[in-house]
Amino acid sequence: MKFAYRSLLLSSVLFPCIGCDQATKQIAMSALDDSPHTYLEGILRLQLSYNSGAFLSIGDNLSPFTRQSIFFWGVASLLLAALLYLLFAQRITRPQVIGLGLCFAGGVSNLVDRVRFNGTVVDFLNLGVNHLRTGIFNVADMLILTGAAILATSFFRKPARPCQAVHEGMSPE
């Protein structure tokens, strides 16, 4: 895949995704508080939360220095490596660019939160039925999970093969 096309594809994923995540977080901060607002008979809950850890608040109880080292500098390093891979990998497919681009966009947007909100990420979505519920998450988390799913499936798909007759130089009938 050519660099210019890859850069355009990455930009078309990156900017709208970061914009959407940041916009929804801004709306959540202005419209919600820490008490849950339930919709769709309790399936969807909106509740403002500031998460200083990772997914499901993992690492929330670490020292501030360790949290910053892992969740800011460690994540920033991984994001830089992902960006370099996205831009310069010799053999990368369109689904891999989209999948890794979604992961990259979600990671960057959550990293922006950590800079803006003193090491925390804004979360506000919760799904579930009765006591079976997800943790509180945000749009960036959905981007990361969607990107990971696209990446995983892209590695299991076989590349398209040309038609045998065309491949051997015969005209298809």
- Provide the residue ranges of all domains of the chain, joining segments of one domain with +: 3-167
Bigger pLDDT: 127 vs 2: 127
Residue-wise pLDDT for 30-59, tens only, equals 999 989 999 999 999 999 999 999 887 888
Residue 1 has pLDDT above 90, yes or no: no
Question: Which DSSP string corresponds to the chain?
Answer: --HHHHHHHHHHHHHHHHHHHHHHHHHHHHH--SS-EEETTTTEEEEEEEESSSGGGTTTTS-HHHHHIIIIIIHHHHHHHHHHHHHH-SS--HHHHHHHHHHHHHHHHHHHHHHHTTT-EEEEEEEEETTEE---B-HHHHHHHHHHHHHHHHHHSPPP---HHHHTTPPP-
Residue 88 has pLDDT above 70, yes or no: yes
CB-based contacts of 33, cutoff 8 Å, min separation 6:
48
User: pTM score, two decimals?
Assistant: 0.85
